[in-house]
Structure 1
Amino acid sequence: MSNLGLFGLMALIWGLTWAAIKIGLDAGVPPILLAGLRYLLTAGILAFWTHGALSAFAEGRSMRVIISALLTNAGTYGLLFWGMQTVPSGLSGLVNLALVPVLLFGLAVVLGEERPTWRHGLALVLGCTGLLGLFWTRLVEQESGNGLGLAAIVAGTACYCVGSVIARPLIGPIKPLTLTAIHAVLGGAALIAVSFLLGDLSATLPARIDVAPAAASLLFLSLLGTIVAYTIYLRLLEKWGTARAGLYAFISPIVALAVGVWLFGEKVGAAEIGGAALLLVAAGLALSRRDSADPARN
């Protein structure tokens, strides 16, 4: 398949993952447990292709590996999956996918990796304005659950960005797929532990779960959403560079919104469209000047 075809497949998969998450949640799987099972399954699959995982903890890298795993996997997806209980899948995908390049852009300035320019300021202002617009619709409609859910998705996205910055020095000393497998094991185990503490793993849980859609959701998220799409992304980073490969941030949110409307009957109002448009413009400004490799979505 051509690089363009691979890019289209990757953008489609990452747009569809939000519907897969909703299907898993609607099947009765508690959100933190669903996220944890996703990554333990991913780790099990990657174990066949990765070697030398223990060496990743050598040379003083242990703390960085653990913290980045807890942020990029446990913190990110625990919050995202929890938030999606009340936030439509399409809107969840749009906020997360469009906000990642904006937040990474802002972190690059804070950490001194880039000199602040008008692009940084405009991207952050537009991104914040877009988010405020999305929150405002929920405050006006008095949908407090939606507001808390959206706040969780924003917080989860921030966890991903901070964790990605922490993990960046690990890429090179550790092979990307190996790092993904380690993050999946650590993050998945942490999520399962939290789920246990929340009382999700009760004796009545199996009777409350619709097994077929739950299994389909997990397989899609693990095999396609993580392993296949991530492998394509690594190839495109090498062939196209970060900015061009990162253009999925404009296509995948549209896929997520369209599938949410078509499959679940989710409603998208004018205010949400306006907020979404501002987020996408902010993402475009961020991506247009990004030269360093973006940590892979996993």
Structure 2
Amino acid sequence: MTGTPLAPAPARFSTRGWLLFAVMAIVWGMPYLFIKEAVDSYSPAAVVAGRTLIGAVILLPLAVHRRALRPALRLWPWVLAFGTIEMAGPFLLLGHAEQTLPSGLTGLLVATVPLFAAVIAVTRGDRGMLRPVRAGGLIVGFIGVGIIVAGPGLAVGGTTSLLAVGEVLLVAVCYAIAPFIVATKLKDVPSLGTITLSLFAVGLFYLPIGLLTQHEVPTARSTISLVALGVVCTALAFMAFFALIAEVGPARAPLFTYVNPVVAIILGTIILNEELSIGLLIGFPLVILGCWLAATGGLVARRARPGPPPLGDAEAS
């Protein structure tokens, strides 16, 4: 992406930023399990249509009450661009990929989002992510994620489809681009309007495709997972996601994706009785440390700069 350099992000995470970060780490750590369950008896297109329409119906009364739809309609091309990059493409790709990929490996691949976001931020003039401590944090976090999911049954190989791996990596690229659209093109549009309009557009587009590709009677387990995707992982999650972008900036907002695989593995252990691996116990602290370093630059760096606030990230070399 090219264009006007982004305004510098806050020098440190606020308490609100950390709370939103924690919410996103949890609610977008759950979809991998729910998608895996949903595509067991729903087609990928039906899952996309279901979760987006459920989310849109939940948010519509609030959007109307707050008069948030009209501003979004004025910039409908960018709203649709956001919906395509953040929802329409990724949701379908994830559903198709998880028909062959384990949910833990999917989470690991999606955890590459901060790396792509950092590259995009640098190309737009934000040099903050190039600082040694933050760049090191990205690496440490990714190593931690790798340790967590590198257990039996999660490694690429055997019957695992390389196409599915490519699909999830493409999802990571899309997830890295979308926050920049929000921060640059939709910054003056109420987030509720953008989310609601995007969800309806994507849901209505996929509805006929979902109906045509649905060839079996859905199970109760898949249906419950689909509803959870729509309510928790779509409607509520996007509200928190937009708040996080506004609080910490589009380059650091995707850092929560490093924690998502941890949540996915824990849910698999609790719900599916999967073995709690040594990798999780070793990798989890690395993930937390990496996220903290990448988000804040490190406590030592802040203490070394008493007095007036430091230069913004975009001005740093």
Category of TM-score, reference length = shorter chain: 0.7 to 0.9
- The residue identity in structure 2 corresponding to 1:256 is A
Does structure 2 retain, via aligned residues, the 8 Å contact 1:39–1:184?
yes
Aligned to 1:220: 228
- Aligned position for 1:295: none
How do residues 31-110 of structure 1 correspond to structure 2 at under 5 angstroms?
31-51=44-64, 52-58=68-74, 61-96=75-110, 98-110=111-123
Q: 2:307 is matched with which residue?
A: none
2:295 is aligned with 1:287: yes
* Aligned 8 A contact 1:138 1:146 in 2: no
Partners of 1:72 and 1:160 within 8 A in 2: yes
Q: Structure 2: how far apart are the matches of 1:10 and 1:139?
A: 24
Cα distance 1:102–1:56, how it changes in 2: closer, same or farther (>3 A)? same
User: Which stretches in structure 2 are left out of the alignment for 5+ residues?
Assistant: 1-14, 299-311
CA–CA distance in structure 1, aligned partners of residues 154 and 39 of structure 2: 25
1:121-156 deviations in Å (ceiling 9; x for gaps) = 656767888999989x99986435343222211111
- In the TM superposition, residue 82 of structure 1 has moved relative to its aligned partner by 1.3
| Equivalence map 1:241-280=2 (5 Å) | 241=248, 248-264=256-272
Aligned length: 279
Q: CA deviation at 1:216?
A: 1.2
Amino acid at match of 2:191: P
Change (3 A) 1:192 1:145: farther
SS of alignment partner, residue 127 of structure 2: coil
Gaps of 5+ in 1: 293-298
Q: 1:48 to 1:31 in 2, by over 3 A?
A: same
- In structure 2, do the counterparts of structure 1 residues 252 and 159 end up closer, same or farther at CA, with 3 Å as the change threshold? closer
Q: CA RMSD in A?
A: 4.2
Distance change >3 Å, CA 68–CA 229, structure 1 → 2: closer
Q: Compute the TM-score of the two structures, normalised by the length of structure 2.
A: 0.68
Superposition pairs for residues 9-28 of structure 1, below 5 Å?
A: 11-26=25-40, 28=41
Q: Deviations over 1:233-283 (max 9, x none)?
A: 566677x75699877445432121122244335579889999999877765
Cα 1:62–1:228 change in 2 (3 A) is closer
Equivalent in the alignment of 2:177: 162
Q: Helix, strand or coil for the counterpart of 2:100? A: coil
- 2:112 partner SS: helix
Distance change in 2, residues 1:275/1:63 (3 Å): farther
User: For residues 153 and 125 of structure 1, what CA distance do their matches in structure 2 show?
Assistant: 20
Pair 127,103 (structure 1): closer, same or farther in 2 beyond 3 Å: farther
Change (3 A) 1:76 1:177: same
Amino acid in structure 2 at the alignment position of 1:191: Y
Q: Percent identity between the aligned chains?
A: 23
Deviation at 1:80, TM superposition (A): 1.4
Equivalent residue for 1:208? Answer: 217
- Does structure 1 retain, via aligned residues, the 8 Å contact 2:60–2:196? yes
Aligned-pair CA distance for 1:71: 0.9
Shift of 1:160: 1.8
Whether the 8 Å contact between 1:95 and 1:279 is mirrored in structure 2 is no
Alignment pair present for 1:114 and 2:122: no
Partners of 2:60 and 2:85 in 1: CA distance: 21
Select the structure of larger CA radius of gyration.
2
SS at structure 2 position matched to 1:32 = helix
Higher helix share: 1
Distance in 2 between the 1:37 and 1:248 partners?
25
Q: Secondary structure at the match of 1:259?
A: helix
Separation in structure 2 between the aligned mates of residue 62 and residue 233 of structure 1, nearest angstrom: 20
The CA deviation at 1:15 is 2.4
Instruction: Give SS of 1:50's match.
Output: helix
CA contact (8 A) 1:88 1:266 kept: no
Q: Give the letter for the 1:111 counterpart.
A: R
